[in-house]
Amino acid sequence: MPEQKQLAINGQNHAISAPDDMPLLWVLRDILGLTGTKFGCGIAQCGACTVHVDGKPVRSCLLPVSAAIRRAVTTIEGIGATAVGARVQKAWLDLEVVQCGYCQSGQIMSAVALLSTTPRPDDSDINAAMAGNICRCGTYVRIREAIKRAASSEA
Ligand code: FES
Ligand code: FES
């Protein structure tokens, strides 16, 4: 039986039992029921599983849960509680970015991470920050517009 681990997810502490090398994604989805974070490729190539660890975007499909202990994890379920997250989600809704939706939690998490460090990103900043998030529905144009709208609506 693996020893208990303490995780801080969206500002709440959770004691979970999981092997050290279990990917954070499976802890979120299968143990904690936070299914907003998606599994796409499992090899850090699509971005669907993006969450924040200490504010930085990470691919949770490859990050072992042991690397998230004593760090602040934020998922799509909690990102709207931040000022930047709320602005990004509003811009996403206003511009109806989503098509099938599968990639969008990862897209939003990467966009929030970008705007948190670069409040007024230009196209090359957006390209660099979002390059690892794949959308099979091709919503890239609306994603870019929504990032710019969220940036321009900064309080
Ligand atoms: S599922 Fe993690 S990057 Fe694709
Ligand atoms: S909205 Fe369908 S994969 Fe991006």
How do residues 122-135 score in pLDDT, each as one tens digit?
999 999 999 999 99
Q: Given a cut of 80, is residue 24 above it in pLDDT? A: yes
Establish whether residue 81 lines the binding site of ligand 2, counting it when its CB lies within 6 angstroms of any ligand atom: no
Tell how far the Cα of 5 is from the centroid of ligand 1, in angstroms: 23
Please give the number of the atom of ligand 1 that sits closest to the Cα of 46: 4
3-state secondary structure 15-62: EEECCCCCEHHHHHHHHCCCCCCCCCCCCCCCCCCEEEECCEEEECCC
Chain-centroid distance of CA 7 in Å reads 17
Classified as helix, coil or strand, 100 is coil
Establish whether residue 89 lines the binding site of ligand 2, counting it when its CB lies within 6 angstroms of any ligand atom: no
Establish whether residue 109 lines the binding site of ligand 1, counting it when its CB lies within 6 angstroms of any ligand atom: no
Please give the number of the atom of ligand 1 that sits closest to the Cα of 134: 4
Percent of the chain past pLDDT 70, that is, above it, reads: 98
Sheet holding 4-9, edge to edge: 12-17, 4-9, 72-74, 50-53, 56-59
Q: What is the mean pLDDT of residues 65-91?
A: 98
- pTM confidence score: 0.97
Establish whether residue 40 lines the binding site of ligand 1, counting it when its CB lies within 6 angstroms of any ligand atom: yes
State residue 155's pLDDT score: 54
How do residues 31-76 score in pLDDT, each as one tens digit?
999 999 999 999 999 999 999 999 999 999 999 999 999 999 999 9
Tell how far the Cα of 107 is from the centroid of ligand 2, in angstroms: 9
* Residues forming beta bridges with residue 17, ordered by sequence position: 4
